């Protein structure tokens, strides 16, 4: 079994109150016993601190037998800085405009140099002039651009249930996208 991440990303670049919302989401996930309430060294990035998987995780995935119980990397990492979430393998950087339906991938991905530091949240279609938050454009492969990311280490193979994703989106107040990363 390879290493992977299931990353849930709200479809908004700058989420109002993102840090407070991350804390509320963590409390909710811990109360439902999806993750532990306290950090441990079960993460992948930085100091490896994350919130370990808990027994209730079985209720929110399609294939609970594929959850990473017993694996050293199994926790939730909450990211509250602006990040780009894309698949790492075979990502084609293909995007389209929801207005004119033209392929605009190269200019959109080039614009991330302005998006990353927060100079803008929006992208303007070079074909028709339509402007929206970068997340409002069409992507052939799931990806997300936001200052909130829920990174579930080694949960991707288990597959989140749609009702869980819907409930999470409702709590966040914005649609979410699930990005799979194979490490």
Q: What are the phi and psi torsion angles at 40 (to 5°)? A: -150, 180
**What phi-psi label fits residue 35: left (phi over 0), alpha (psi between -120 and 50 degrees) or beta?**
beta
Question: Taking the model in full, what pTM does it have?
Answer: 0.95
Where do the structural domains in the chain lie, given as residue ranges?
Answer: 4-84+142-182, 92-139
Q: What are the phi and psi torsion angles at 10 (to 5°)? A: -65, 145
d(CA 25, CA 8): 12
Nearest to 61 by CA among 28, 25, 34, 33: 34
Q: One digit per residue, pLDDT tens: the chain, 183 residues?
A: 689 999 999 999 999 999 999 999 999 999 999 999 999 999 999 899 999 999 999 999 999 999 999 999 999 999 999 999 999 888 989 999 999 999 999 999 999 999 999 999 999 999 999 999 999 999 999 999 999 999 999 999 999 999 999 999 999 999 999 999 998
């Amino acid at each position: 079994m390879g290493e992977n991440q299931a990353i849930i990303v709200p479809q908004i670049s700058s989420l109002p109150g993102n840090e407070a919302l991350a804390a509320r989401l963590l409390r909710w996930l811990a109360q439902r016993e999806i993750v532990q309430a306290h950090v441990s060294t079960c993460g992948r990035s930085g100091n490896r601190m994350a919130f370990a998987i808990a027994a209730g995780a079985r209720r929110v995935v399609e294939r609970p037998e594929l959850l990473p119980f017993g694996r050293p990397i199994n926790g939730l990492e909450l990211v509250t800085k602006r990040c780009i979430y894309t698949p790492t393998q075979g990502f084609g950087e293909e995007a389209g405009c929801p207005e004119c339906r033209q392929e605009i991938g190269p200019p959109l991905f080039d614009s991330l140099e302005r998006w990353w530091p927060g100079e803008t949240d929006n992208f303007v279609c070079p074909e028709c002039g339509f402007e929206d938050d970068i997340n409002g454009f069409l992507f052939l492969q799931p990806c997300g651009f936001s200052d909130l990311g829920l990174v579930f280490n080694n949960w991707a193979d288990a597959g989140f249930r749609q009702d869980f994703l819907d409930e999470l989106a409702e709590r966040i107040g914005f649609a979410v996208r699930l990005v799979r990363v194979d490490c």
